Each structure stands twice: as structure tokens, then as C-alpha cells.
Structure 1
Amino acid sequence: MPEDERSAEQPLSLVEACAGAGGQSLGLHKAGFSHSLAIEIDATAAETLSSNLGVQVAVGDVADPSVWTPRSYEGVDLFAGGVPCPPFSAAGKQLGTSDERDLFAWAIEQVSIIRPRAVMLENVRGLAAPRFAAYRQRILDRLDELGYVGEWKLLHASDFGVPQLRPRFVLVAMPTSEMRYFYWPEAHRGPRVTVGDALHDLMAVDGWKHADAWRDAASDIGPTLVGGSKKHGGADLGPTRAKAAWAKLSVDGRGIADSPPDRRSPSFRTTPPRLTIEMASRIQGWTPTDDYRFAGRKTSQYRQIGNAFPPPVAEAIGRSIRAALNHEGTAMIDESGQVSLHDPVYRALAQSDRPLSLDELIGAYNEGSASAVQQRLAAIGRDFELHTVDVEGTERYLLGDFKGFIGQSDHWRHEVVSRFRNRVS
């Protein structure tokens, strides 16, 4: 159907990579998108997604050509995904391209094959760190080569009715003609939803006489739920600092309870309650009307929830993308489609056909000092081949190949995933 004949109410098509248990999926469905396909490596999470939303899920490594064929979905309205976050997480080693779970650059390469009308990829706040400035620049530059304008934004789930902070770094990209109509969703007005408000009915359901007082004590948003991975993490609410933050909200973060407090349960002042799976899903943004059920055992269920993208945030972004694709609202005046500049040192190296000296790179870097440029070079060298050459007694720098996985048949990632299949998540 020609784009100008599409009904504003007609569902838009969606391919979702690394879909997990469906937090992003649910939000995008509410925003008016319908899956053509979802891809997820964890079979239990795939079962959750399929059974709740009726989505066709291809189970396996999203980068394995035997699992799905990207070219079969050419022209889809939205290509979305929550590619694995450990490569960029401040809680980990921030290995970036050296982590076999890094699929961000790979996902961008699929844009050249699928040619979607819009792209939406999300990850942890760590990707916004200076350490990954060159990585982000390469992403935007590659999108520009493909005819898309990309824009990054750090969003907090608590601004969209979710009772936890949960910052997420989101990339949205579209051709200029559509991107001109894209506006990031605005934060909800009014007071934030607190943990106590969100969970009061679940704490009180079995007659716990302290439920009202607990609600008053849990009168703030929670820290970010940490789902962990198959390498690390279990059914608790995260590392020591996260558990301490939950303790301030009168929640025991050392594990997940099988059931809520009952009429015999002691006061939260002496024995803080633990969250149940249903409570954790509520903290992540699922609502009672979603009637969502998670497959698997308790640890798997919690991991699915803790690693999910909050549905209300996905819905808000999805509605903004849908509006842009339909050219709703007022177009931005700027039609240039210029790529944002995240790392001038990387950009100078990438655009030069000759090795550059430290002095030349200092001139390209507005913040200017030699030590600042050397720090940028060290960061760039973690994700790119960076060659040092001597030209007439002066040390110069030449940018080599990107180290990341973009689909190469001979990349080291394939062996790691093959050997440690059950540990990759």
C-alpha cells in the first residue's frame, strides 16, 4: 500500500531484534505497531513473548543467518531492539567491541539490508559515556551513509509513570523527510509514581496489616532493577548499592519472594518484605490490565523482567515515531539532516586520508589539551585499530578498521558464541 494511503489507525509493521520477554514489544503494540517477526536468543523469554502477545519469535542468536533472513523484511516500518547492554554497562567492564554480546554495530548494518522506515535501538546509560564517544560517532556516521538521520537521547523511566529511575540511552533514526517530524516524548506532568503507590494493592492483597504504613514509607521511586545475565546475576535486586537503596524504601533486596506478606507477617520496620515476581513486573512498568505471565522458573522470570525495556517508555517513543512516519504535527525548520558531532578526534581521524599529528588532533578537539586528546585516543583504540607511525620524526596517528562485529563471517565472536552458547544473553 502506498505510504500516502496508509490509515493513521492501521498497525505499522515491526521487526524486533533481541526482543527478550516483550517489554519493548508490549509498549510498541500499544503504540500501534504489529510484529512481522521478533528474534530472541533465550527460549524461555521467547515463550513468554509468544504466549502473551501472539508474536512469531525466531529463537536463536540474532546474528546467525540460519535463525532469520533480514532481507525478507525489507521495507518494514520499524526495526527495533534492545541489544545486549553488558558491553556498555558501568556495572561491568565496558568492553564495548571486545564483548561478544556487542550487537549494536551489527544492528546498524541490518538497516542497510532491511531499509526500514524508522529505527529504534535502546541500551544502558553507559553507552552515553565519553568512553564510547567514537563508537557513537561511527554509528551516526554509518546511518548518515545509509541515508538516515540518527539522534540519541537519555530517557528516565520515572518520567513516564514507571516507579524506578531506570535511565536508558535510546537511538532513533529515520530519513530526513520523516525525522523532521520526530519529537522525543515529553515527561509526564505531576508527581512521580512511587514504589509504595505502585505496589500497595499487591502488598495488601493477603491482609498484611502494615500495608498502608509501608506505602507511606516507600514514598519514592526505586533504583533500577538489575536482571543480570547468564554469566552473572540471580533473583535479587542487584549489587550492594542497589540493595541499600531498596532498604531505604523498606524493601529487602536480597531475593524474590514466592508470595506477598499476609496477616501474620511482621512489620516492615523489623522485617522488610521482598518483592514477588508480580511486584517486580509492576516496578518495570507492566500493569494489572496487561495480564502478562512469565514463563520459566523464578530466577528466569526475574531476569526477563529485570532486563526488559519498560513498556510505558517504549509506548511513548513508539507513538512519537508513528507520528513522525505519518508526518503529524509541525515539521522542524532545520532540514539539513546534519550528523551530530560526538567525538571530534575520531571524526578528524576518520575523515583524513593521511596520518595526523597530536598537534593537529588538538586543533580538531575544541577542549584542546594534549592529555585530553591522548585520553580520547586511548578510548578510540579500544574499539578501532589505531596505528602509530613516524613521519619525519613526528609521531602521527592513523585510524584503522573498526573492531566491532558487523556481520563478518570470520569474526572471533562466532567461535565464542558457538563454544559458550548457554552463557550468551
Structure 2
Amino acid sequence: MTNKLRVVEICAGAGGQSLGLERAGFHHELAIELDETAAATLRLNRPEWKVAVGDVADKSVWDPSDQSPNKLPYRIDLFAGGVPCPPFSIAGQQLGSSDERDLFAWAVEQVGIIKPRAVMLENVRGLSMPRFSGYRQHVLDRLEELGYKAEWKLINSSDYGIAQLRPRFVLVAMEENEFARFHWPQPKPKRVTVGRALKDLMSSNGWEGADEWSQHADAIGPTIVGGSKKHGGADLGPTRAKAAWAELGVNGKGIADTAPMPGETFEIGPKLTLEMVAKLQGWGGRDYKWKFAGRKTSIYRQIGNAFPPPVARSLGLAIASALKGTSPVRKKLEDSNVTDPVYKALKENGDFMTIDEIVDHAGTDLTVNQIQRGIDILERDFDIERAECGKQISFRIGHFRAFVGQKEHSRHSFYEGSINRVS
């Protein structure tokens, strides 16, 4: 047991990240998932795992202190998860900290309780946008306060053997001596296309058009959209996504029960089956076998919302190498990781600052308009106080609005009435 790398995974879903981390050598101490059907999928495939079902921020479901060094004779090696995406999704309103489903800042606070050797949290590409630069800076600064070095990176799943672009924004953090050995995984030299990934499945019932279809679909597919309990069913997403799939010869208006049969013809192309969608997400074959609990729409949603197992494996191997000390030390570690100089200046100063003072403190070439725009963006996640300072307005950053565990937060009442609809 002393040689095992232990992981606690939150918001585990149907197990895409779970399976990838397992393949990288991590053993699940605990997996927590809100959706009962997705949790059933985890238990179906790994009955030996401890799986907690319910709101991860509810201590009656899971108390993070139970995985702390105060309660265990060892440290958890990795704290991982894919916290809810809607607060940051480009397809949504990007409410960030104002969205009751936001758990990213809360997850960071649990790092201070669990004190894992490493952290890996992933989310959608929207979190990498300028809209959330202050939010990201808060996360980096908070992790530094807790004794961790951290980096963000936008990765495309197509670089790691997945036949869809599927960009994911990943945060990795470790204590500095181990983070010095962390290297982001290198992209694979050869990309897998939709046609190559699905040719065997398309021809499994003897459909004569499989070869021609595979040649036409010889490209990376758009990101599969799983939808939510409130929006989206068993199809390949909104109108734009369906149009992109149509260009590859795939009918995105639904999911088929079986692969094409001999003699079948299609105006656009065949629909994908659940098995095909799972293959495009990286499940299948000898290394990534997996079964899914539930009915068709639920299974599609589980598959479509997952983190591709091969991508999780690549990241897990990189983290494991750093923790084991088998990877080389980086030639250079940045002294700081600044994503938002305006936030950084206001936070470090702690008092009212004029725009000129922010420029001087930040040492950047930002214009007055850019700084004003940065303050306006920050105000979506932080309280910003204003005061007159001669002929200028000065600013001071205040309370961070995100849920970090506070008892009086609106998230609690939201979940009491909506937990069965949250996804």
C-alpha cells in the first residue's frame, strides 16, 4: 500500500477522469458524484471503490477533513475533479462566481484541508478567457498561500489520441520541490480522425458504405456536447455543432440504436450510436473498457460530459512522474504566474488605488481604457469600492463572491430546491 498513489476525486461523473487516472497508476481512495446514475456507472465498473453520492459541498455526503493528514496515516497524493462547467461556459452566461453551481473556488479551499501532494482540476475553455482572469489570479494566489505552485494550461484532447478537438482548461498544483519536476504531457505525433476511430464500428453490421464514409470523415470532429438535465437530449448538440458533424457525414439529430445495416442510404450520413460516441470520447478497446448504467439519454449525457480517459491518463502520468521524482527538474520555474495584473496590483496594495497607481504597480503597458475594462470585469466576481481622489477615481478590491463554503451563501437555498435538476 505504501507504493500506491492515492487520489480523491470530486465531481467524478461517469468515470472518464477516474479511469484515466487509474491507468496512470492512481488508486481511488474516494470518488464523489452528484448524479445517482453516473455514480451507479462508477460502482458498476469498480465495485471495490468507495463512491459517495450527493452534493460534494455537503459535509453529510463528504467531510474533506476525513482525507486530511490529521485523520489518515498518510497524505492523499492527488486531489482531482472536473467541477461544474456552466459557470464558465462560452455557451452560457458566464456568471462565474454568481452562478450557484460554481465549485472551483470551493475546491481550492479544500486543498488547505486535505493537503494533497498534487491537485488537478479541469474545466471548459471559457475559464481561460479574459472574463475570468481575476478569478484565475485569485486561484493562483490562494494556492500560493496554501504552499503550492500552480499553472493553468489549455489543452486540446485531439493532441492525446481523441478524435475531437474538445479543449479543456486544466489547473495543476504541487508543492514547489515536486512541481519543479512537473512537465505538461507532450502531444502525440499522430492525430486520430473521426473516420479512423469509427470505421470498424460503422462496418460492424456489414454496411457497404463504411469505407467511403471513413475517408470522407477523415478529420477531427467538433466537441461532443452532453447537455444537461434541463437542456439537451441524446443528440450532438446545438445547430452549429450539428452542421459541423454534417460536413463529416454524420447526422447529429439524434443517436442511433445500431450501426448502419447493409443497403442503408443516408441524406446526410448515419447517426452515431452510444458506443461510437464513447469511442470518440476515448472509451473502448483493451485499455479503456467501460460500461454505463441508465437509459439512453442518461448514458449519452454521461459520455458527452466526461473528461476523455486517455487525456486524464496523460496528465496523470505526468503528475505521477513528478511525485515519484522520476522526471527531470525544469530548467526554469517562473517566480510568479500573473494572469491579471490589475487584480494583482489591487490585491497586493490592499488600499484604494488610482488608475495611474495601478499602472505603476503593475509595471505593464496597459492603457487607461484597458485597466478600466479590467476593473469592470473584476466587478463581476469581486466587490469593487470606489472613492474620489482629487480629480480621479480610486479603486479598492473587496469581497470575492464565489462560494467557498460560507453558510450564508445563496447556493444552499438553490440546491435545496433544485438539486435533482443540477448537472
Using the size of structure 1 for normalisation, the TM-score is 0.95
Answer yes or no: is the 8 Å Cα contact 1:235–1:256 preserved in 2: yes
**Per-residue deviation at 1:57?**
1.0
Separation in 2 of the partners of 1:350 and 1:120?
25
Aligned residue in 1 for 2:289: 291
Q: 2-side partners of 1:264 and 1:332: how far apart?
A: 58
Deviation of residue 367 (structure 1)? Answer: 3.4
Q: 2:318 maps to which residue?
A: 320
Amino acid at match of 1:338: D
Count residues with an aligned counterpart: 414
Contact kept? 2:235, 2:252, Cα under 8 Å:
yes
- The residue type paired with residue 66 of structure 1 is S
Structure 1 Cα separation of the partners of residues 365 and 251 of structure 2: 45
Q: Deviations over 1:232-266 (max 9, x none)?
A: 21111111111111001100011111111111311
1:214-233 CA-partner distances (Å, limit 9, x unpaired) = 11111001000011112221
Q: 2: CA distance between counterparts of 1:157 and 1:91?
A: 19
**Displacement of 1:293:** 1.3
TM-align CA RMSD: 1.3
- Checking the alignment, whether the CA contact within 8 Å between 2:384 and 2:397 is kept in structure 1 is yes
**Cα distance in 1 for residues equivalent to 2:364 and 2:126:** 23
Percent of aligned pairs with the same residue?
56
Aligned residue runs from structure 1 range 315-394, under 5 A: 315-334=313-332, 338-363=335-360, 364=362, 366-394=364-392
Where do 1:6-405 residues align within 5 Å? 10-54=3-47, 55-74=49-68, 75-190=75-190, 192-266=191-265, 268=266, 270-289=267-286, 290-334=288-332, 338-363=335-360, 364=362, 366-405=364-403
User: What letter is aligned with 1:247?
Assistant: A
Amino acid at match of 1:80: A
Q: Cα 1:283–1:394, aligned 2, differ >3 Å: closer, same or farther?
A: same
Question: For the Cα contact (< 8 Å) 2:354–2:389, is it kept in 1?
Answer: no
Q: Please tell me whether the aligned partners of residues 140 and 339 of structure 1 are also in contact (alpha carbons under 8 angstroms).
A: no
Query: For residue 131 of structure 1, what is the amino acid of its counterpart?
Result: R
Encode CA deviations 1:133-185: one digit per residue, 9 max, x unaligned.
00000000000000000011111111111100001000000000100110000
Provide, for residues 19-67 of structure 1, a one-character-per-residue CA deviation record: whole Å limited to 9, x for no partner: 0000000000000001000000000001001111232210001111110
CA distance in 2 between partners of 1:217 and 1:11 (Å): 45
Q: What is the alpha-carbon distance in structure 2 between the residues aligned to residue 339 and residue 56 of structure 1? A: 38
Aligned equivalents of 2:355 and 2:268: distance in 1? 60
Aligned partners of 2:52 and 2:108: how far apart in 1? Answer: 19
CA–CA distance in structure 2, aligned partners of residues 174 and 12 of structure 1: 14
Distance apart, 1:338 and its partner CA: 2.7
Mapped partners of 2:94, 2:389: distance in 1:
33
1:331-357 CA-partner distances (Å, limit 9, x unpaired)? 12446x633011000001101132001
Measured against aligned partners, the alpha-carbon deviations of 1:68-126 in whole angstroms (never above 9, x if no partner) come to: 11111122110000001111111111110011111000000000000000000000111
SS in 1 for 2:278: helix
Unaligned runs of 5+ in 2: 69-74
